[in-house]
């Protein structure tokens, strides 16, 4: 169970004003970073969560709707910062029956509506960013930063789930990750696709120094003060310098789809 999301949330929002009325697993606060008004949002573990599958930091029913409420309620003149440390969505029979997909969609929609309306959105990856949890909380950001740390993982599935689905041994999965960047969980591999704007070297990601927090806060504030970067459509990452070669096929597929759509 990772506590990084809470640690970075508390360091970056020190002196800010907490937002009430949200699930215990969803933290939100309004703060000024370098003079830029920001609403920071994080999902954190809650051992007492009513949904059993959402007690270790997963994004579930309450979390999805909680994120949506925090985003929709952000002050009109504030940028929004998603602090990301999410091990995945809260898969479970109850969650699926109640409507997990609707809760995650509510979070995605809230972020997208605010970004399209001109609210700068930034995401900071400090821990895991897995599957639908990352899609719901972070992927809609115009600017994405991340700690350059081995414990940062970005993938469509957790390692355990990948092993079960593919029926491959963990050693085989690790070997493929070293050969095929698209299967890797390393943040450096994700950055090589043009998906990360800034990587931060932090001496201790679990207990960052004031100097490291200051550097990250300054970068986040600069991104949120820039509407071009903060409101950028996620699809624009296909045009990043790094993506010109690493995502050549994806760029070609997208171009063909656009041509068909606009014909």
Domain around 238: 234-263
The answer on 171 and 145 residing in a single domain is: yes
The answer on 69 and 53 residing in a single domain is: yes
CATH of the domain at 201: 3.90.226.10
Burial of 87 (0-12, 13-18, 19+ CB in 10 A): buried
Tell me if 140 sits within 8 A of 121, measured CB to CB.
Answer: yes
The answer on 220 and 139 residing in a single domain is: yes
Tell me if 5 sits within 8 A of 85, measured CB to CB.
Answer: yes
The answer on 261 and 180 residing in a single domain is: no
Q: For residue 168, how many other CB atoms are within 10 A of its CB?
A: 14
The answer on 243 and 219 residing in a single domain is: no
The answer on 241 and 161 residing in a single domain is: no
The answer on 83 and 118 residing in a single domain is: yes
The answer on 208 and 132 residing in a single domain is: yes
What's the domain count of the chain? 2
The answer on 103 and 43 residing in a single domain is: yes
Of 40, 15, 45, which is closest to residue 29 (Cα–Cα)? 40
- Token pair in block for residue 79: 């940028």
The answer on 100 and 22 residing in a single domain is: yes
Note down pLDDT in tens along the chain; length 263 residues. 789 999 999 999 999 999 999 999 999 999 999 999 999 999 999 999 999 999 999 999 999 999 999 999 999 999 999 999 999 999 888 898 999 999 999 999 999 999 999 999 999 999 999 999 999 999 999 999 999 998 898 986 766 777 777 787 877 777 766 666 666 668 888 888 899 999 999 999 999 999 999 999 999 999 999 999 999 999 888 888 888 888 888 889 988 998 999 98
């Amino acid at each position: 169970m990772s506590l990084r999301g809470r640690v970075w949330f508390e360091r970056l929002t020190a002196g800010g004003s907490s937002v009430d009325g949200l699930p215990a697993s969803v933290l939100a606060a309004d703060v000024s970073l370098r003079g830029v008004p920001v609403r920071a949002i994080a999902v954190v573990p809650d051992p007492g969560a009513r949904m059993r599958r959402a007690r270790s930091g997963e994004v579930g029913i309450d979390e999805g709707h909680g994120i949506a409420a925090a985003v929709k309620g952000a002050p009109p003149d504030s940028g929004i910062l998603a602090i990301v440390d999410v091990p995945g969505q809260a898969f479970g029979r109850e969650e699926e029956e109640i409507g997990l997909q609707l809760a995650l969609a509510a979070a995605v929609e809230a972020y997208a509506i605010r970004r399209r309306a001109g609210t700068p959105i930034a995401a900071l990856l400090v821990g895991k960013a897995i599957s639908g949890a990352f899609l719901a909380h972070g992927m809609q950001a115009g600017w994405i930063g991340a700690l350059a740390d081995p414990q940062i993982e970005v993938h469509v599935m957790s390692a355990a789930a990948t092993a079960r689905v593919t029926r491959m041994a963990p050693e085989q999965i690790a070997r493929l990750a070293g050969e095929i960047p698209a299967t890797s969980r390393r943040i450096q591999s994700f950055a090589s696709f043009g998906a990360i704007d800034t990587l931060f070297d932090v001496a201790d990601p679990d207990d960052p120094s004031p100097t490291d927090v200051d550097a990250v806060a300054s970068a986040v504030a600069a991104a949120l003060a820039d509407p071009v970067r903060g409101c950028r459509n996620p699809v624009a990452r296909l045009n990043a310098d790094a993506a010109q070669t690493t995502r050549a096929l994806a760029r070609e597929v997208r171009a063909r789809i656009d041509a068909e759509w606009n014909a």
